Amino acid sequence: MVKKLLTIVLATAISLIASSQTKTAVTSKQAKITDEINLSPSDIELFKEQTKQKVEEFQQYIVTLGNKNEPAEKRNMAEKEALKLFYNGAQMEITTIKPDGSIQKINRPMEKYLARLKSLPFTKVIIKFYDIAYISEFTKGPDGKYYSTATIIQEFTGFTNDEIVYKDVTKKEVEIIVDLVEDKFFNEKRWKIFLGDIKATETKSTETETKSTVLK
């Protein structure tokens, strides 16, 4: 009886070890496949075009959010749709030129930045964007994602009644992230573009005298 019991235990142990080795092999194989997944040159060119579209879409949402003449419903929708463009945890770096000429900077989570943009204490806000100046080459990071940077130029003007009280032009660097995400409809992973952190690399005043210290 004891011998039979030992045989059963030994067989069970061997089975568990074999199962563990199989799982380890599968996991290693999956990791290797992930490492070998790369974007082709044609994929990268396609993602460059899609990057332009994503950035332009974001710019349109920002213009709508800043425009106090737009219906509240439209501005709320722009806020929600803009947030969908970003990778989870993305932040916006905001700059303001103070009356003494110094530049104040602060980082805000993207959702807080977008919500605040709707309620800035100006009677009117006009935001304009120039064309994308540059999109850097995509490079693969150690995490398997691809990264790039898009450069945009933003002009911000804040009014009190009909008087311009604040105006600046800011050069911004938008982080671009291409990640493999699960497509639930097709039940497979597909590459998708997200916007990441946005950094203000250079802010200049215009001929208008800065009369407001409100941080955008």
- Establish if 9 belongs to a structural domain: no
pLDDT band, residue 15 (cuts 50/70/90) = low
Q: What is the Cα–Cα distance from 46 to 40, expressed in whole angstroms?
A: 10
Quote the domain boundaries for residue 136: 39-205
Q: What is the Cα–Cα distance from 6 to 182, expressed in whole angstroms?
A: 46
What predicted TM-score, i.e. pTM, was given to this entire model? 0.77
- Establish if 86 belongs to a structural domain: yes
CATH number for the domain harbouring residue 53: 3.10.450.50
Lowest mean pLDDT among 3-17, 79-93, 127-141: 3-17
Count of the separate structural domains present in the chain: 1
- Establish if 75 belongs to a structural domain: yes
- Establish if 45 belongs to a structural domain: yes
- Establish if 123 belongs to a structural domain: yes
- Establish if 12 belongs to a structural domain: no
- Establish if 4 belongs to a structural domain: no
Statement: residue 82 has pLDDT above 60:
yes
Lowest mean pLDDT among 138-147, 169-178, 182-191: 182-191
